[in-house]
Chain A
Amino acid sequence: MVRLTRLGSMLGLLAATTLAHAGPALDGIQEKQPTNWHAILMFCLFVALTMGITYWASKRTKSTADFYTAGGGITGFQNGLAIAGDYMSAATLLGLSAMVYGQGYDGYIYLLAFFAGWPIILFLMAERLRNLGRFTFSDITAYRLEQGSVRTMAAISSLTVVCFYLLAQMVGAGQLIKLLFGLEYKIAIFVVGILMMFYVIFGGMVATTWVQIIKACMLLFGGTLVAVLAMSQFGFSYHNLVERATAVHKLGPKLMYPGSLLADPVTAISLGLGLMFGTAGLPHILMRFFTVTNAKEARKSVLYASGFVSYFFNIIFLLGLTGIIIVGQNGAFFEGGKVGGKLIGGGNMVAMHLAKAVGGNLLLGFLAAVAFATILAVVSGLAMAGASAISHDLYSRVIMKGKASETTEIKVSRVATICLGFIAIFLGILFEKQNIAFMVGLAFGVAAAANFPVLILSMYWKGLTTRGALWGGYGGLFSAVIFVLLSKSVWVDVIGKKAALFPYTQPALFAMPIAFLLAFIFSKLDGSDRAKAEIEAFEDQYVRGQTGFGASTATKH
C-alpha cells in the first residue's frame, strides 16, 4: 500500500521531490546544493533558444486558431515528439529510475502501466478527437449538447485538473531546482512562473509545442547517452548487469520478482484504470490532438509518441539497474560516504548521480538543465490548457455566446495566462512546506472520472443528453474529489486523522462507474424535446467523427 500511495504521486513531477523514499514526504531533501554553474549555463542556452522561438512564434500568432492550436499546422512527427515530451516528465526520469533502483522489477511494471494507455487512445479516440474538436475538448462534449451548461461543466473540471497539476508541478519544480541548481526556492518558482507566462502569452501554442519538442529531444539524447555510458561498464551485456545487480542489491534475487507493489488487486486495477483513462482525459494532452492538420496526422502523432515513450521507458529501466551498481556501490553518492545509507539529495537523485558518475559534472549539468526544461515545458502546456478553458469555453462561448471577436478572445486568454501564472507562483510559495502528494493523484482522478466518461460517451453514445452529461461530469468530479479527500493521502497525511474513511488511494475504479452510471441514468430519464433533438443530432456528429468531413482545417500562413 505504501508503495502504491507513492505511485499516485509518481504521476507528476512532485514525485521527484516529495517522495523521499521513507518517512515524511519532504524529509532530507531540503538542503540547498552548491550552485551548479554547468547546469545554469546549459539551462540559459535552452531559455535563449526557446525565447528565440517564442519571438518567431509571436509573429505567426494572429488568429485564435494560431494561438490555441498553432494554426493546426503541426506535423504528426512534431506532435508525436511534443506528446512524448508531455509524457516524459521529470517524474518519469527521476522518480521511475529511482524506483527501479530501489525495487527492481516493480519499477518496470509501472513503466508498462504508464505506456499501455497510448494504443487505446489511438484505437478509440485520436481520430474522433481530431475530427470533432477545434480548440478544447469541450468542443466535442458540447458539440450537440447545450453549449452554456455543458461547456461550463467541462471548463470547471478542466480547470480543476489544470490547477492541481500545475500547483503540484510548481512545488516540485521549486524543490528540484533548489536541489539541482542551488537556487533559492522562491527564485526558482518565479523563474518557472515568469518563463511559462512568457512562452504562452507571446508564443501561444506554437511556442508551447516547440518548447516541448526541443525538451523531448534533449531528454531522449541525455537519457540515451547516460544509458550507453553506463552500459559500457558492463560490456553492454544485460546478463552481466543483472548478475551483478542482484548480487549487490539488498533484495538479492528478489530484485527481478514482482514485490508487494501490485499485491492488492483492487488498487492495482484502479491504478491501471486511472493511468490509462486519466491520460485520456488530461486537457493539456487532449489539446495536442487539435494542433495537427487532420486525422491522418493525429494517428501518426500517437504512433511516434508511443514509439518514443516505449523506447525511453526501457532506457529508464536500464538507468535504474545500472544505478544499483554504479551509484549504489559508490560511497561518494551517500551522505557521510556510507554505502547503503541515504543518497545525497534524496532517493530520487539516482539518475542525476548516475550522470555524474559516467559523464562528470558536464553530463550532470546537462541532465539537470533537461530536468528544468522539462518542468517548464509541462507547466507551459498546462497554462495553455487552462487559458483556453477560460477564454475559449467560458468567455467566448458561455459568456459572449460566440459573439466575441478573435482579438478580444486572444486578449482574454493572455490575461487568463497571467492570472494563472501569478496564482501558480503565489500558491507555489504558499505550499512550499506542505505535503501535496495527493494533488497529482487528484488531477488524474478527476481527469479519469470527470473528463473522460463524458467525452467518450459524447463520441460513442447516441443517447447522451445535456442532463446526462452534466450529472455524469459533476458526479465524476465530486466523487473523485471526495474519494481523494477521504483517502489516506489527504485524510491522514494532510489533515492528520488516524484512519482513512476511504480505504483506497486510487479513486478511478470507483469514481468512473459513478460518472458513467449517472450519465446513463439521467440521459435515459431525460424525455424533453431538447433531449430528443440532441439524440437526433448525433447522426450528423457521427458521420463527421467518422469521415472528418466538416472538421476544422489548418489555417494557411
Chain B
Amino acid sequence: MSSEMYEHMRANPKFQRLVTKRGRFAWTLAFIVLAMFYGFVLVVAFKPALLGRPIRQGSMVTIGVAVEFFMFIFFWVLTAVYVRRANGEFDELTQEIVKDAWKENK
C-alpha cells in the first residue's frame, strides 16, 4: 500500500518540483555557511594579523570580533530563513503531494 503511494508521489511533477527547489535552497544555504566558516578558518590560519585590526581608528572592536559576531547572528538568521520557507511553502507542497497520492490511490 505504502509502496503504491510512494509510486504515485514520485510520478507527481509537484514532487520533482519540491525536491529540486528545496534541495537547491538547502544546499545553497549550506554552501554559504561552509564557505564563510572555512574561509574564516583559512584567514585565521594564514592572515591572523588582519583579524586583530580595529574596525576603525580608535575603536576597541576588532575586525575578527566583528566578523565572528556577524556570523553568529547571520547563521542563525539563515536557519530562520530556511525554517520559514520549509515550514511554509515546502510543507504546503508536500501536503498537496500526499493528498494527490491519496486521491489517485482510491
**Which residues of A pack against B, CB within 8 Å?**
105, 108-109, 112-113, 115-116, 118-120, 122-124, 127, 238-239, 242-243, 246, 253-254, 256-259, 261-265, 268-269, 272, 295-296, 299-300, 302-303, 306-307, 310, 313-314, 539-540, 543-544, 546-550
The reply to whether A120 and B87 contact each other, CB–CB distance below 8 Å, is: no
The reply to whether A543 and B9 contact each other, CB–CB distance below 8 Å, is: yes
Q: A119-B33, A543-B9 are in contact. Are A272 and B60 (CB under 8 A)?
A: no
The reply to whether A122 and B82 contact each other, CB–CB distance below 8 Å, is: yes
Q: Report the separation of the CA atoms of residues A36 and B104 in the bound assembly, to the nearest whole angstrom.
A: 69
Partner of A302, one of B15, B26, B79, B101: B79
Q: Report the separation of the CA atoms of residues A246 and B62 in the bound assembly, to the nearest whole angstrom.
A: 12
The reply to whether B44 and A262 contact each other, CB–CB distance below 8 Å, is: yes
The reply to whether A105 and B52 contact each other, CB–CB distance below 8 Å, is: yes
The reply to whether B98 and A547 contact each other, CB–CB distance below 8 Å, is: yes
Q: Report the separation of the CA atoms of residues A548 and B86 in the bound assembly, to the nearest whole angstrom.
A: 13
Partner of A120, one of B2, B34, B42, B65: B34
Query: Which chain B residue lies CB-closest to A549?
Result: B98
Chain B residues positioned under 8 Å from A303 (CB to CB): 79-80, 83
Cβ of B3 under 8 Å from chain A: yes
A-B contacts, 20 listed (Cβ < 8 Å)? A108-B64, A116-B75, A119-B82, A124-B30, A239-B61, A256-B62, A263-B48, A269-B38, A272-B37, A299-B82, A303-B80, A306-B76, A307-B76, A310-B72, A543-B6, A546-B15, A547-B9, A549-B2, A549-B98, A549-B101
Q: A543-B6, A543-B15, A549-B6 are in contact. Are A310 and B76 (CB under 8 A)?
A: yes
**Which residues of B pack against A, CB within 8 Å?**
2-3, 5-6, 9-10, 15, 18-19, 22, 26-27, 29-30, 33-34, 37-38, 40-42, 44-46, 48-49, 51-52, 59-62, 64-65, 68-69, 71-73, 75-76, 78-80, 82-83, 86-87, 91, 94, 97-98, 101
The reply to whether A548 and B94 contact each other, CB–CB distance below 8 Å, is: yes
The reply to whether B87 and A268 contact each other, CB–CB distance below 8 Å, is: no
Residue of A115, A253, A261, A543 with highest tally of chain B CB at under 10 A: A543
Q: A269-B41, A300-B83 are in contact. Are A115 and B64 (CB under 8 A)?
A: no
Minimum CB–CB distance from A241 to chain B (whole Å) comes to 8
Partner of B26, one of A124, A246, A258, A543: A124
Chain B residues positioned under 8 Å from A540 (CB to CB): 2-3, 6
Q: Report the separation of the CA atoms of residues A342 and B68 in the bound assembly, to the nearest whole angstrom.
A: 31
Minimum CB–CB distance from B24 to chain A (whole Å) comes to 11
Q: Report the separation of the CA atoms of residues A127 and B79 in the bound assembly, to the nearest whole angstrom.
A: 13
Q: Report the separation of the CA atoms of residues A112 and B39 in the bound assembly, to the nearest whole angstrom.
A: 13
Partner of A543, one of B10, B29, B41, B48: B10
Chain B residues positioned under 8 Å from A257 (CB to CB): 48-49, 51-52, 62, 64
